[in-house]
Structure 1
């Protein structure tokens, strides 16, 4: 039976020499290293402080309990409906090997990102029997997609990397098993990957839908043997889903009355889809950013129109002639894969570019399968692809720069805290005034109080207080304000990080501190940030 994704020029897939394959793999690894290099040595950000600190202290013997417990351990003051033991395992291993050295954590993110790019390469080259160069281009384009800056640079973003790695592994092994149904190892690998993915991030539950979409678009004959092996694969996936459901019931049965809303047809969901689309199709990013307020107001009709337009183009393409590998590639990986990959985001209450990490894999695979149909014009196709890749790399670098700068500022703050703690005198308090967001990136958002505690800062009996916008809970500021107002005979050291990324140290005497406390007591209690700004301004006024 002929594979419908085989070479369009009628030639059978040729066996590539080991040297050529090695060169292609080296290029893919070099591309992911190029993407990760600038942030490889950068410091922790935001949620990193909570998760790194938690898993440095957690024992390996406690890891199995995470299959039936929230992986955050309640550090956020509430139970999160997230069972992610395999994501936790990566933190446990990194914590045991590296402690609080961020380099090791970034290396893990790099390896996960590289694994995803290599699977994109294998899906194009081996599963679709495309040209080696087409698989290489698809993998490099995937590695340099701008949406990858966040999960690569942000250590906690590895949940998307690990989930996507397991998702692509499940897809590649499952589809390969259906093509080579006599080899049971692919069945075992696919089901194992599916299980790891479902316990890494919840979107992996949709992986069987991606395999089903591939089977619909890229199979031409459904023999009884093929149906039998497809049944084996999907029964295995159902078993994993049942196990996940049982574990979630054990872990979150007390949350049964607090189910999260999935508003597929709400204006908020349409607005997030608008943002997803402008990040997904990189040329639309600047246009969408410049006119976002106007476009967001009509996000719902725009998203609906984009969906109908995509379906109409594919239907017209199909109507004008027989289905081809080009049509199948864009229909399966360009449209259906995107819908499957973003469907779980209906349960998300916020937008983040990293949510498109999995969706961008489909876009890259579609391009790789499409490119191999231009074998007669491969040099033209390669040249055009290089231009596209370099454009994506430029956009990636622009996006990663904000993460790089924020992580550097975060490191400067921690270094300053380390230097000032031994200098604190009697009745002296250390105050940290820092933005929660820097250059559009969540620098210290939800970072405190974790960043102000061991293992990130030395243990001390001296009070250390930070900007209210950096605490994970508004209730933290209530306790902080009440504590501040009791320090009537104290002086302070203020560490400030400004909008330019500079860190400065301000010594505050007792009289000035007392005057600032008076200003704080008259500030609006319902607006923590305004009260803090009034307090900080008074501290810096002689």
Structure 2
């Protein structure tokens, strides 16, 4: 905060704390939520993060060579292990940690905007609050296993702030802020692959905001950040286990080839734009049918409109240029250039939306310069923030438990076999076997009978409905598709199945011999 009095600095920090407090209170609702999605096998039933003996391999990054869920994200594992040490398997603490991290990101984003934007508190606060309550961010904040996106942004923002401080400091302060920037860059990529953009953002801050005579230190800090990030990425691929019992199938390339991926990806980008500015049909799983509901022409128009707005902001402001760069740099690692299990997801937008917040700030600061229109613009922003907050508040209820999540996802993405299958297991938990069977049958219909997990779930429902012979046939079909379903214990170890389901399959196997 160059040139500011201590009182001004205190006010800025106070506003940052207040913005973070709003974000934390906004997500306090999720503290009463259950574990859902991947958090159930990873936290509720998995043992890895609950074993203190694993701290050494996680902190030393030796876990990169192990067959563990999130082994390539040791910072995410460390955060979950810390929660485990404090809370055991109680979801309340995990949700509070995620909410606190999101609140910290909102505060850091506000500080970054104030640092780069000349102390324009009004535009900075509005942009930070829009990020705080946007409903697309409910998934990474309210779903514990998606926390890696929240962690990544935390360290990216920290790296940029420390780099800016390093560029303006002398003596020991220059050294420790520079070292902190490099460390934060490593932790960002250690949380999730999106953190690979840390050197890009640090370098961009140097190009756009460096003071005269500091070019060499910026070059050194950026180079060191690139070195540690590149080293982590190299180690991540070098030590990756060739065979995995966690990931039983390799991800397929979107469209079947790189050429087809490059054709399809712009439509997904356009779909994201639509979800950002009209977030009323958010889903935990998106299918090609979700994207196809919007005509391709409209998707391209929306994408072009976003780029145009970003371009205007970049032309008017260096902050806008940094925001545009941050948005598209963060989109790179989640744009299917490498095969991905999930081609599109709300959580992928967590870091890009921080970049979009910089764009919003740049536009608001431009309007703020013409003070006559500012009160009306601020009032309009208040209306938009209220609408976003209401949608975000409602969205948190979706992630309150598995039944809510998969009921909503089936409604939003009826062509998703995974959503139908997961809803079937949610119905089993509620004891409604007939509705569970119907959901599993829907999943099988969508996959032409080739989904082993749906056959296995149907076997449980059939057995509980007093149809043991049909249950045996269904489980046998699951084993034919994926032989691992003949070994319930291994399914639990692989985090594919929950212990209660494995016990049910053992019971069914007692009715007849089912050979893998």
Structure-2-length-normalised TM-score: 0.70
Aligned match of 1:49: 40
1:270 aligns with 2:266: yes
1:122 aligns with 2:90: no
1:236-247 to structure 2, matched below 5 A, reads: 236-247=224-235
Q: Is the 8 A contact 1:163 1:198 kept in 2?
A: yes
Aligned match of 1:103: 92
Structure 1 residues without counterparts, runs of 5 or longer: 7-11, 319-325, 414-433, 454-464, 493-507, 529-542
Q: Is the 8 A contact 2:23 2:103 kept in 1?
A: yes
- Call closer, same or farther: CA 1:373–1:97 in 2, change over 3 Å: same
1:97-176 to structure 2, matched below 5 A, reads: 97-176=86-165
Calculate the aligned-residue CA RMSD, in Å.
4.6
1:357 aligns with 2:345: no
Aligned match of 1:332: 322
Decide which structure has greater strand share.
1
Q: Is the 8 A contact 1:157 1:354 kept in 2?
A: yes
Aligned match of 1:502: none
Q: Is the 8 A contact 1:402 1:439 kept in 2?
A: no
Aligned match of 2:220: 232
Whole-angstrom distance in 2 between the partners of 1:398 and 1:439: 17
Aligned match of 2:510: none
Aligned match of 1:62: 54
Aligned match of 2:294: 295
- Call closer, same or farther: CA 1:363–1:480 in 2, change over 3 Å: closer
- Call closer, same or farther: CA 1:238–1:57 in 2, change over 3 Å: closer
Deviations along 1:362-421, one digit per CA (max 9) or x if unpaired, are 22233335545566655853652353244234234324424414524649x9xxxxxxxx
Out of 170, 189, 207, which is 2:198 matched to?
207
- Call closer, same or farther: CA 1:397–1:56 in 2, change over 3 Å: farther
Decide which structure has greater helix share.
2
1:89 aligns with 2:78: yes
Q: Is the 8 A contact 2:267 2:291 kept in 1?
A: no
3-state secondary structure, aligned to 1:295: coil
Aligned match of 1:423: none
Whole-angstrom distance in 2 between the partners of 1:294 and 1:518: 38
- Call closer, same or farther: CA 1:450–1:125 in 2, change over 3 Å: same
Displacement of 1:203 in angstroms is 0.5
Displacement of 1:194 in angstroms is 0.8
Aligned match of 2:489: none
1:302-381 to structure 2, matched below 5 A, reads: 302=301, 305-306=304-305, 309=308, 313=312, 326-333=316-323, 335-347=324-336, 348=340, 349-372=342-365, 381=374
Aligned residues between the structures: 440
- Call closer, same or farther: CA 1:261–1:443 in 2, change over 3 Å: closer
Displacement of 1:29 in angstroms is 2.5
Deviations along 1:194-213, one digit per CA (max 9) or x if unpaired, are 11111110111111112223
Displacement of 1:245 in angstroms is 3.3
Q: Is the 8 A contact 1:194 1:237 kept in 2?
A: yes
- Call closer, same or farther: CA 1:40–1:383 in 2, change over 3 Å: farther
- Call closer, same or farther: CA 1:230–1:118 in 2, change over 3 Å: same
Q: Is the 8 A contact 2:273 2:306 kept in 1?
A: no
Structure 2 residues without counterparts, runs of 5 or longer: 245-249, 430-435, 445-449, 482-516
- Call closer, same or farther: CA 1:94–1:304 in 2, change over 3 Å: closer
- Call closer, same or farther: CA 1:272–1:36 in 2, change over 3 Å: same
3-state secondary structure, aligned to 1:100: coil
3-state secondary structure, aligned to 1:163: helix
